[in-house]
C-alpha cells in the first residue's frame, strides 16, 4: 500500500463515529485513572494488525526513513502562508510564516524536532510547524541539529544553544521582534529547548517563552510512567534505550544537566514555560517533575496533561480528533505568549 492510501485508511478509521471506533478498537483501556482516547486506540490497533515495526528495530538509516514515513501518514496537509529554507549558522533551517502575516516584526518560535536525538528532521515535523505557525499567528524557525550516533552528546545541545543565539542575532533579517522570541520542541526537542532556555537565562537573553511538549528531561528514567507505558503505547523502552546508547554512550553523561535538565541548578530569569504531557506516555512523569521544578524555582509555569493521549500526538494532525485538538490548544498558548 502506498503512502497516500495508508494515510487515507488511517483518516477514515480514526474519523469513524465513536461507536464504530469502539467496535474496531475493542474494550476501553483505562490505566492510572485515565481512559485512552478511542481514536488513538484505533491507531494503535491498526499498527498491531499491520505488524508495524518501530524504527528502533531497524538500522539507524532505515529507522530515519520509517520515522519520516510515519509522520507523512499522520501529518495531513496543513496550510501555511509561506515556507523558505534559512541557514541557521552552519545548520539547515526552515522558516514558516503564517497567512496574513503583517509586515511589522512578529513573534518567533525556534523549534527543535523530536526523534530520540537520532531520528527526525525538518520534513518529519513539517506538519506541526505549519500548524503552529498558522494557528498561533507567529513565525516558526525549525532547526535541523546534528543527530546521534554520528554526533553524540553534547552536539545537539550545542547546536540548540547556538541556534537560539543565532535567532536573536538575526531577528531583523527574520522579520521578528527580539522581545518576542520563544523556544520549543517535542520529546528530544523539548529536552533541547529546555537546555537552550537555561543557557539563554544565563546569558541574559530576553527569551519570552518556552514550549516543552512531552520533554525528555531525565536520561536515567526511573519513573512510574516509564514502567506503566514502556510497551504498547508507541514509545517503547527499546526506543528509549537506543536513544540513550546513541546520544549518551558514556554512562556518566546521563546525569549531565545539559543532557538531563532535571539535574540542573536552575538560574534566575528563566522564561515562562508551558509544559504539555500525555497520560499514556513513558515520559509523562519526568516532564511533570520538570514543570514542578521550574515552578519551585519561581518560573511562571502552565503544565497541562492530555490524559487520553500517547507520546507522538504532536505529529498526528491529519487523522482523528483528539491529537489535533491538543496541538490546537498548544498553539493557542504559544500565540497568547507571543501576542
pLDDT of residue 16: 93
Grid coordinates given for 336 = 497568547
Task: Identify the structural domains of the chain with CATH numbers, from first to last.
Answer: 78-337 (3.40.50.1820)
pLDDT of residue 256: 98
State if pTM tops 0.85. yes
- Give the integer Cα–Cα distance in Å for 266 and 90: 29
Bridge partner residues of 278 (DSSP): 306
pLDDT of residue 120: 98
100: left (phi over 0), alpha (psi -120 to 50) or beta: left
- Give the integer Cα–Cα distance in Å for 59 and 180: 41
Q: Cα dihedral sign for 198, 143, 11, 57?
A: negative
pLDDT of residue 118: 98
Q: Which residues are catalytic?
A: 187, 281, 311
Q: Shortest CA distance to 157 belongs to which of 187, 199, 120?
A: 199
pLDDT of residue 49: 87
pLDDT of residue 52: 84
3-class SS at 186?
A: strand
Half-sphere exposure of 327 (CA within 13 A, CB side): 28
3-class SS at 177?
A: strand
Q: What is the pLDDT of residues 109-132, one digit of tens each?
A: 999 999 999 999 999 999 999 999
Give counts: helices (H), strands (E), the chain: 12, 10
Our measurement of the distance from residue 278's CA atom to the centroid of its chain's CA atoms, rounded to an integer in Å, reads: 11
- Give the integer Cα–Cα distance in Å for 67 and 54: 8
Using CA atoms, how far residue 238 sits from 57, 112, 200, 223, 248, in Å, is 8, 23, 33, 16, 15
pLDDT of residue 103: 64
**Omega before residue 149 within 30° of 0, cis:** yes
Bridge partner residues of 238 (DSSP): none
- Give the integer Cα–Cα distance in Å for 242 and 245: 5
Q: What is the pLDDT of residues 149-181, one digit of tens each?
A: 999 999 999 999 999 999 999 999 999 999 999
- Burial (0-12, 13-18, 19+ Cβ within 10 Å), 54: middle
pLDDT < 70 positions in the chain: 1, 102-104
Amino acid at each position: 500500500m502506498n503512502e497516500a492510501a495508508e494515510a487515507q485508511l488511517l483518516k477514515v478509521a480514526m474519523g469513524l463515529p465513536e461507536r464504530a471506533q469502539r467496535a474496531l478498537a475493542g474494550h476501553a483501556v483505562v490505566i492510572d485513572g485515565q481512559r485512552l482516547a478511542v481514536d488513538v486506540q484505533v491507531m494503535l490497533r491498526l499498527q498491531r494488525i499491520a505488524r508495524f515495526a518501530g524504527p528502533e528495530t531497524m538500522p539507524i538509516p532505515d529507522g530515519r526513513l520509517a520515522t519520516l514515513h510515519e509522520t507523512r501518514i499522520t501529518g495531513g496537509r496543513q496550510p501555511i502562508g509561506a515556507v523558505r529554507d534559512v541557514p541557521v549558522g552552519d545548520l539547515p533551517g526552515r522558516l514558516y510564516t503564517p497567512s496574513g502575516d503583517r509586515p511589522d516584526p512578529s513573534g518567533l518560535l525556534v523549534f527543535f524536532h523530536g526523534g530520540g536525538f537520532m531520528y527526525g528532521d525538518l520534513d518529519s515535523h513539517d506538519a506541526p510547524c505549519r500548524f503552529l505557525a498558522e494557528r498561533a499567528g507567529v513565525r516558526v524557525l525549525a532547526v535541523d541539529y546534528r543527530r546521534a550516533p554520528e554526533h553524540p552528546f553534547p552536539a545537539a545541545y550545542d547546536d540548540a544553544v547556538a541556534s537560539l543565539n543565532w535567532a536573536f542575532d538575526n531577528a531583523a533579517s527574520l522579520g521578528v521582534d527580539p522581545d518576542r522570541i520563544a523556544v520549543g520542541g517535542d520529546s528530544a526537542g523539548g529536552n533541547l529547548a529546555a537546555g537552550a532556555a537555561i543557557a539563554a537565562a544565563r546569558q541574559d537573553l530576553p527569551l519570552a517563552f518556552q514550549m516543552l511538549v512531552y520533554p525528555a528531561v531525565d536520561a536515567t528514567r526511573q519513573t512510574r510512567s516509564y514502567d506503566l507505558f514502556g510497551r504498547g503505547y508507541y514509545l517503547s523502552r527499546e526506543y528509549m534505550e537506543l536513544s540513550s546508547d546513541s546520544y549518551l554512550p558514556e554512562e556518566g553523561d546521563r546525569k549531565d544537566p545539559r543532557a538531563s535538565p532535571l539535574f540542573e541548578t536552575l538560574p534566575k530569569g528563566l522564561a515562562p514555560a508551558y509544559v504539555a504531557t500525555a497520560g499514556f506516555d513513558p515520559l509523562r512523569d519526568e516532564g511533570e517533575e520538570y514543570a514542578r521544578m521550574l515552578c519551585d524555582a519561581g518560573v511562571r509555569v502552565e503544565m497541562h496533561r492530555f490524559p487520553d493521549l500517547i507520546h507522538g500526538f504532536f505529529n498526528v494532525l491529519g487523522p482523528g480528533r483528539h491529537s489535533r485538538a491538543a496541538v490546537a490548544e498548544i498553539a493557542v498558548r504559544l500565540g497568547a505568549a507571543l501576542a
